[in-house]
Structure 1
Amino acid sequence: MDWLKSFYYDKKAQVVLFSSTAIALYGYDQGMMSLINTNYDYLNTMGIEEDDPQVGVIVSVYYLGTAVGAVFFSWLADQYGRKPALFGCLAMASLGNLIMFVSGLGYSKGALAVMYLGRVVMGLGVGGVDSVVPVYSSELSSDGARGKALAQEFQSNIFGLNMAFAINLAVTVTLGKWNEWAWRIPIIAMQIYPVSLLLLFERLPESPRWFMFHDRKEDARNSLNFILGEEEAEKQFEELSESAKQESGQSVGYKDMFTPGHQQFHPTMLTVMGQVNQALTGYGAVSVYGPQIFELLGYGVRMSEYLTQANYISYFILMTLAWILIDALGRRTLLLFGSGTLTICFFLLALFGGLSMNTYRIPGLTREGVAIPGIISLFIATGAFGIGWLAPPWLIPTEIYPTTARAQGTAVSVIIWGLMNFAVTLLTPILFNNLDYWIFIVFAATNTFAGVWTYFYCPETGGRTFEENQEFFNNAKEEGTWIVAKVQEGEYRYLPYPKPDGEEGEQQPLLQRIREQA
């Protein structure tokens, strides 16, 4: 039981656990609606057909709520602290979930409106979670471990997705698609997340950075002592004090962030494009409409549901590589790897999907003969997204802004994520119905675009302090270019690698040295 005692006193470990569970809440919702959408009692209660466009609207309207929640709770986090904001967004998510649960419970008139309300309210809370948790986590992590902490949290996101789909599948198989509780149980089961988080809430520290930048130096010192112990806390206190002096008076508003020429415009465009490109990978759609993809490859409804669960389990396991690699290889490298792999896999899915739907035209070709390679391609694509594109677009915004703009920058990230996923999840069923397997060609093209954009314009933010990352944007402005290779001789294309034995300076990354010697 020594590990339990150690965890009781390890505040950073508690923050990671709290943040991971909070992010799992977001993952749970992604997996929750996938089988509810095909429950006949749910559709009957809402008064809609399975192919009604409102099926997609109910799913996607949640993302509009996340955009509004991100703005409100990031403002709350800046004004009153990270902890009060976290409490508020967890309570809001819990309330929205309860509203969804009671929609049509004992009545039918107005059930659809209540479901819409619940989706929006829960979106408000989850948008707050997505905007505040990464900031809170990054401010309490060391510079060389921010990536690992957030990647571990997003592995919990996939755990939440797995949990939701598993509960959905279990009650659907047990109770059937005409049973009311086959869709209500997966909804109410989500309460385990906000309730457990609120129970843990009081043991968490407030962010020392937030205290320091609100001129509450004694509170910042006490918080650091609470987290690190007195000796290490004093060193960190001096560094925070110096950083606060440099950033004093640098108030940043949303208008400033979207004003060309403003110091925060470049970081904001990097944040915006990170979330645009993540949405264009197509995986928001895959996570919600996974069973339909397997049906497109030629499998029946129940087998498609089992394969979707297997894909999510593989997804969760492969996410371990994300938190192992993200601080070793860097955010930029993982993004490029993800884009390249996803492009290839989607081209293959288009090929195998097309062959699966036209096997009767090719003598000797069976559906299994093309569906199995299609399954493998989808499994690989899912892992590539998890390793390459799930965590970095959320992590980078927490590393490139000054403290005075960090919460707003992360809120912008959530807003763009919400709007893009609203569009993608709304359009995906329409595209599936009209394009069939050609939809994968669309995703292959968008992943190619994401990789090219990342190569030219996304700097490596890992292994550097917040202040060092801001230097990149200062230098880019002075040199008049956003192309990473042209700023500081391309230094920000790679992670910084300290020289061995405490020597000063940095050694070149191995791959860079090989290229220059060739």
Structure 2
Amino acid sequence: MEKLKSYFVDKKQQVVVFSSTAIALYGYDQGMMSLINTNQDYLKTMGIAEEDPQVGVIVSVYYLGCAVGAVIFSYLADKYGRKPALFGCLATASLGNLIMFVSGLGYSQGALTVMYLGRIVMGLGVGGVDSVVPVYSSELASDDSRGKALAQEFQSNIFGLNMAFAINLALTVSLGKTNEWAWRIPIIAMQIYPVGLLAIFERLPESPRWFIFHERHDDAAASLKYIMGEEEGKKKLDELQENAKQESGKSIGYSDMFNPKHPMFHPTLITIMGQVNQALTGYGAVSVYGPQIFELLGYDVQLSEFLTQGNFISYFILMTFAWLLVDAVGRRTVLLGGSGALVTCFLLLTLFGGLAQKSGELGIPRQAVAIPGIVSLFLATGAFGIGWLATIWLIPTEIFPTTARAQGTAVSVIIWGLANFAVTLLTPILFNNLAYWLFLVFAITNTFAGVWTYFYQPETGGRTFEENQEFFDEARKEGSWRVGRVREGEFRKLPYPKPDGEEGETQPLLARVRDQM
């Protein structure tokens, strides 16, 4: 009861709830289009066939909108504040969703063009959400709970995905695949997220860090008092002012971030490779084309859709371990554990997929290999959620100084958008040509992602933003980006205080997990 009460009085908790709901909007879109793409009335209204490449282009063009929206709204977040940028993101996403809903409503000519426009506009807004929310959330979270806050937000992302797929599935079953409202209702139902968030928007605090770095010290003091109370707020204000002095005069642009000679190039490349490696896990294909994977294992269309829903529910539940572990064992550990589990699961899926396809020739009961295949896919989904979903969005918020944090997160969204654009276009082609061998490709790409993470990804948890900057300073002095060579491998591990508050041995794992609950 006390925890429930804290959500209504604790401003940090309110920020987590707001941010979680905003991220759920992004998840909702992921689940929204999967069954709409097979609705016959939708295809007829758009004037395209189910096998038309434009079905995939309509889905993927959204990700290009996300990439552009990340740049626009990260700029607005730096210039005008995190809150005004968030307002713009939500309003834009709401407008794009409304445009999608009215495409072909009472008319047919030009419906496809309107749908494309809606997808792009909604992408602009959601891309802004994806770039600004992690920055806003991390700047208001404590140094030892940033991971938990963002992982909880991304668990809401999976709630949004579940909600969209469930609405789609219920309407498809009850109304059929030829009914207009079976695809229009799931689209307009998304309005609950941006409209609801805009309704409570004014109660949220602005980021004190943003105020400090725009020399609005009185506003920063008022914001900190609102969030933390007078005494703690004053202490935090002094700390932020001192940090601002150290970073003053260091205006950073995108050209600096992509300049190999600039100090920001190193964290920028880590951000880029994080999103590239997340794409290489292959889970983008699993989330978008889950029903086709179950069909590959030998199930009919409707049962495959129900199994996909079951997989998403399992995904949501297992995400609980993400926020329990990310601050308890560290970013590197959950990433590496996720890669190892994904490699194992995809190797098993290659085996079970091949046996399912040849079960008749080999005299093996199909269920004998299909059921282990289902278990492997469920476990792969959970491993991705625990290890790779939230963590890759968290790291950019921890490795850039305040003057480049919004741009760094925008770069992360841009790479995510481009990678997902490629995945949603290429996956159907790869499925058609490789069938179950696609899982072997994903096992190999996950191995690469894990190896790169082991050698080059520093541990950013349990440290202040300023302490994480020390890694990059030391790497330049050392002349190496290998984590094991920087300060004798200090950044391979998560720092923990002893019970008496001194730096030293780590706490027992169960104690650390308990502290996160």
Q: What's the TM-score bracket when you normalise by the shorter of the two chains?
A: over 0.9
**Structure 1 residue 214 corresponds to structure 2 residue 196:** no
Q: Secondary structure at the match of 2:202?
A: helix
Q: 1:287-319: per-residue Cα shift (whole Å, max 9, x none)?
A: 111111111111000000000000000000000
Please give the alpha-carbon distance, in whole angstroms, between the structure 2 residues aligned to 1:349 and 1:258. 39
Cα offset for 1:506?
Answer: 2.6
Residue in structure 1 matched with residue 514 of structure 2 by the alignment: none
**Structure 1 residue 500 corresponds to structure 2 residue 499:** yes
Cα offset for 1:423?
Answer: 0.3
> Unaligned stretches of 5+ in structure 2?
510-517
**Structure 1 residue 367 corresponds to structure 2 residue 366:** yes
Cα offset for 1:183?
Answer: 0.6
Cα offset for 1:3?
Answer: 6.0
Q: Secondary structure at the match of 2:319?
A: helix
Q: Secondary structure at the match of 1:393?
A: helix
**Shift in alpha-carbon separation, 1:182–1:52, aligned structure 2, 3 A:** same
Q: 1:145-202: per-residue Cα shift (whole Å, max 9, x none)?
A: 0000000000000000000000000000000000011111110000000011001100
Residue in structure 1 matched with residue 245 of structure 2 by the alignment: 245
Which is worse superposed, 467-476 or 108-117?
108-117
Residue in structure 2 matched with residue 200 of structure 1 by the alignment: 200
Residue in structure 2 matched with residue 516 of structure 1 by the alignment: none
Q: Secondary structure at the match of 2:188?
A: helix
Please give the alpha-carbon distance, in whole angstroms, between the structure 2 residues aligned to 1:443 and 1:3. 41
Residue in structure 2 matched with residue 514 of structure 1 by the alignment: none
Cα offset for 1:433?
Answer: 1.4
Q: Is the 8 A contact 1:343 1:444 kept in 2?
A: yes
Residue in structure 1 matched with residue 429 of structure 2 by the alignment: 430
Residue in structure 2 matched with residue 168 of structure 1 by the alignment: 168
Q: 1:61-105: per-residue Cα shift (whole Å, max 9, x none)?
A: 100000000000000000000000000000000010011111111
Q: Is the 8 A contact 1:144 1:464 kept in 2?
A: yes
Q: Which amino acid aligns with 1:97?
A: N
- Let me know the Cα RMSD of the aligned residues: 1.2
Residue in structure 1 matched with residue 20 of structure 2 by the alignment: 20
Q: Is the 8 A contact 1:279 1:420 kept in 2?
A: yes
Q: How does 1:107-126 map to 2 (within 5 A)?
A: 107-126=107-126
Q: Is the 8 A contact 1:62 1:119 kept in 2?
A: yes
Please give the alpha-carbon distance, in whole angstroms, between the structure 2 residues aligned to 1:446 and 1:456. 16
Q: How does 1:236-315 map to 2 (within 5 A)?
A: 236-315=236-315
**Structure 1 residue 468 corresponds to structure 2 residue 445:** no
Please give the alpha-carbon distance, in whole angstroms, between the structure 2 residues aligned to 1:336 and 1:3. 32
TM-score, with structure 2 as normaliser: 0.97
Q: Which amino acid aligns with 2:183?
A: W
Q: Is the 8 A contact 2:498 2:507 kept in 1?
A: no
Residue in structure 2 matched with residue 71 of structure 1 by the alignment: 71
Q: Is the 8 A contact 2:497 2:507 kept in 1?
A: no
Q: Which amino acid aligns with 1:32?
A: M
Q: Is the 8 A contact 2:6 2:13 kept in 1?
A: no
**Structure 1 residue 152 corresponds to structure 2 residue 147:** no
Please give the alpha-carbon distance, in whole angstroms, between the structure 1 residues aligned to 2:395 and 2:320. 19
Q: Which amino acid aligns with 1:383?
A: G
Q: Is the 8 A contact 1:350 1:440 kept in 2?
A: yes
Please give the alpha-carbon distance, in whole angstroms, between the structure 1 residues aligned to 2:8 and 2:14. 8
Cα offset for 1:249?
Answer: 0.5
Cα offset for 1:5?
Answer: 5.2
Please give the alpha-carbon distance, in whole angstroms, between the structure 2 residues aligned to 1:200 and 1:330. 33
Please give the alpha-carbon distance, in whole angstroms, between the structure 2 residues aligned to 1:425 and 1:114. 21
Q: Is the 8 A contact 2:24 2:159 kept in 1?
A: yes
Cα offset for 1:427?
Answer: 0.5
Please give the alpha-carbon distance, in whole angstroms, between the structure 2 residues aligned to 1:55 and 1:502. 57
Residue in structure 2 matched with residue 351 of structure 1 by the alignment: 351
Please give the alpha-carbon distance, in whole angstroms, between the structure 2 residues aligned to 1:110 and 1:497. 59
Q: Is the 8 A contact 2:350 2:436 kept in 1?
A: yes
Please give the alpha-carbon distance, in whole angstroms, between the structure 1 residues aligned to 2:507 and 2:336. 17
Q: Is the 8 A contact 2:281 2:342 kept in 1?
A: yes
Please give the alpha-carbon distance, in whole angstroms, between the structure 2 residues aligned to 1:392 and 1:215. 31
Cα offset for 1:2?
Answer: 6.6
Q: Which amino acid aligns with 2:45?
A: T
**Structure 1 residue 179 corresponds to structure 2 residue 167:** no
Cα offset for 1:264?
Answer: 0.4
Q: Which amino acid aligns with 2:387?
A: G
Q: How does 1:399-478 map to 2 (within 5 A)?
A: 399-478=398-477
Q: 1:24-58: per-residue Cα shift (whole Å, max 9, x none)?
A: 00000000011111111111111111111111111
Q: Which amino acid aligns with 1:223?
A: S
Q: Secondary structure at the match of 1:506?
A: coil
**Shift in alpha-carbon separation, 1:268–1:47, aligned structure 2, 3 A:** same
Q: 1:325-350: per-residue Cα shift (whole Å, max 9, x none)?
A: 00000011000001111011111111
Q: Which amino acid aligns with 1:470?
A: Q
Residue in structure 2 matched with residue 39 of structure 1 by the alignment: 39
Number of residue-to-residue matches in the alignment: 509
Q: 1:262-303: per-residue Cα shift (whole Å, max 9, x none)?
A: 110000000000000001111112111111111111100000
Q: 1:431-476: per-residue Cα shift (whole Å, max 9, x none)?
A: 1111111111111111111000000000000000000000000000
**Structure 1 residue 385 corresponds to structure 2 residue 390:** no
**Shift in alpha-carbon separation, 1:474–1:509, aligned structure 2, 3 A:** farther
Q: Secondary structure at the match of 2:436?
A: helix
Please give the alpha-carbon distance, in whole angstroms, between the structure 1 residues aligned to 2:256 and 2:6. 44
Please give the alpha-carbon distance, in whole angstroms, between the structure 2 residues aligned to 1:2 and 1:336. 35
Q: Which amino acid aligns with 1:269?
A: L
Cα offset for 1:354?
Answer: 1.1
Q: Is the 8 A contact 1:494 1:509 kept in 2?
A: no
Please give the alpha-carbon distance, in whole angstroms, between the structure 2 residues aligned to 1:104 and 1:471. 55
Q: Secondary structure at the match of 2:62?
A: helix
Q: Secondary structure at the match of 2:285?
A: helix
Q: Is the 8 A contact 1:496 1:509 kept in 2?
A: no
Please give the alpha-carbon distance, in whole angstroms, between the structure 1 residues aligned to 2:154 and 2:3. 23
Q: Which amino acid aligns with 2:374?
A: I
Q: Secondary structure at the match of 2:51?
A: coil
Q: 1:117-168: per-residue Cα shift (whole Å, max 9, x none)?
A: 1111000000000000000000000000000000000000000000000000
Residue in structure 2 matched with residue 131 of structure 1 by the alignment: 131
Cα offset for 1:508?
Answer: 5.7
Residue in structure 1 matched with residue 481 of structure 2 by the alignment: 482
**Shift in alpha-carbon separation, 1:463–1:477, aligned structure 2, 3 A:** same
Q: 1:379-405: per-residue Cα shift (whole Å, max 9, x none)?
A: 000000000000111000000000000
Which is worse superposed, 220-229 or 42-51?
42-51
Q: Secondary structure at the match of 2:384?
A: helix
Please give the alpha-carbon distance, in whole angstroms, between the structure 2 residues aligned to 1:420 and 1:3. 39
Please give the alpha-carbon distance, in whole angstroms, between the structure 2 residues aligned to 1:152 and 1:384. 16
